[in-house]
Structure 1
Amino acid sequence: MTEISLIIPAYNEAAIIQATVSELDIFMKNAMPGRSFEIIVVDDGSTDGMSDKLEALDMPNLRVERHARNRGRGAGVRTGFAAAVGDYVVTLDSDLSYSPDHIPRMLAPLEEGKADIVLASAYHPDGVVRNVPWMRAKLSLYGNKVLSAGVRGQLHTLTCIVRAYRREVVKKLELVSDGKDLHIEIIQKANLFGYRLAEIPATLDWRDKSRAKRVGKGSSFPLFALSGTIASHLVYNYVLRPGAMLFLPVAALSMIIFIGAMTLIGGWLIRTVGFMEHGFFYAVYYGLRETLLQGSLTMTLTAGSAVVLLVFFAFYFQSLQSKKQFEELYLLMARMNDRLKDLERDKTD
Structure 2
Amino acid sequence: MKLSIVMPVYNEVQYIERIVERVRSVAYPAGVSIELVIVDDCSKDGTRDKLSAIGELPDVKVLLHEKNTGKGGALHSGFAAATGDFVLVQDADLEYDPADIPRLLKPVLDGNADVVFGSRFMSGDSRRVLYFWHSIINRQLTNMCNVFTNLNLTDMEVCYKLVRRELLNRIKLKEKRFGFEPEVTIKLARLRPKPRFYEVGISYAGRTYAEGKKIGVKDGFRALWCILRYGIFG
TM-score tier by shorter-chain length is 0.7 to 0.9
Does residue 36 (structure 1) correspond to residue 33 (structure 2)? The answer is: yes
Out of 139-148 and 88-97, give the one that drifted further: 139-148
Change in 2 beyond 3 A, CA 1:50/1:33? farther
Larger Rg: 1
Pick from 118, 121, 138: which aligns with 1:120?
118
Indicate conservation of the 8 Å contact 1:10/1:44, yes or no: yes
**Contact between 1:98 and 1:203, CA under 8 Å: does it hold in 2?**
yes
- From 201, 212, 224, the equivalent of 1:234 is 224
User: Are the equivalent residues in 2 in contact too, given 1:151–1:240 (CA < 8 A)?
Assistant: no
Matches of 2:94 and 2:159, distance apart in 1: 11
Is the CA contact (8 Å cut-off) linking 1:5 and 1:39 kept in structure 2? yes
Counterpart CA distance in 2 for 1:11 and 1:18 is 13
Aligned partners of 2:211, 2:102: CA distance in 1, in Å? 31
Distance (whole Å) between structure 2 residues aligned to residue 143 and residue 190 of structure 1: 17
Structure 1 residue 146: Cα displacement: 3.7
Q: How many residues align?
A: 230
Distance 1:237 1:83 in 2: 27
SS in 1 for 2:98: coil
1:21 counterpart = 2:20: yes
Q: Distance in 1 between matches of 2:104 and 2:36?
A: 17
Matches within 5 A, 1:154-303: 154-193=152-191, 194-206=194-206, 211-215=209-213, 225-226=216-217, 228-239=218-229
Contact 2:6/2:90 (<8 A) preserved: yes
Partner of 1:85: 83
The RMSD of aligned alpha carbons is 2.5
Cα distance, 1:212 vs structure 2: 4.5
Uncovered stretches (5+) of structure 1, i.e. residues with no partner: 218-224, 242-322, 328-349
- Equivalent position of 1:284 in the other structure: none
Distance of aligned partners of 1:213 and 1:133 in 2 relative to their CA distance in 1, 3 Å threshold:
farther
Amino acid at match of 1:204: Y
Give me the whole-angstrom Cα distance separating, in 2, the residues matched to 1:230 and 1:95.
20
What is the TM-score when the length of structure 2 is the normalising length?
A: 0.86
Residue 5 (structure 1) aligned with residue 4 (structure 2)? yes
CA distance, structure 1, for counterparts of residue 203 and residue 9 of structure 2: 21
Question: Structure 1 residue 47: deviation in Å?
Answer: 1.1
Question: Mapping of 1:307-318 within 5 angstroms?
Answer: none
Taking the aligned partners of 1:177 and 1:237, their CA distance within structure 2 comes to: 12
Q: Distance in 2 between matches of 1:95 and 1:112?
A: 30
Contact (CA 8 Å) 2:189, 2:195: kept in 1 or not?
A: yes
Counterparts of 1:135 and 1:191 in 2: how far apart (Å)?
Answer: 27
Pair 9,182 (structure 1): closer, same or farther in 2 beyond 3 Å: same
Q: Alignment partner of 1:41: what SS?
A: strand
Between the two proteins, what is the percent identity of the paired residues? 27
Cα pair distance change 1:9/1:177, threshold 3 Å: same
CA contact (8 A) 2:149 2:189 kept: no
CA distance in 1, matches of 2:117, 2:68: 26
- Residue ranges of structure 2 left out of the alignment (5+ in a row): none
- Aligned to 2:121, what secondary structure does the other structure show? coil
Within the candidate set 46, 65, 88, 2:43 is matched to 46
Report deviation, 1:168: 0.8
Output the TM-score relative to the length of structure 1.
0.60
Aligned-partner residue type, residue 203 of structure 1 = S
Aligned to 2:116, the other structure's residue is in SS state strand
- Structure 1 or 2: more helix by fraction: 1
2:182–2:227: 8 Å Cα contact kept in structure 1?
no
Measured in 1, the distance between the counterparts of 2:78 and 2:133 equals: 31
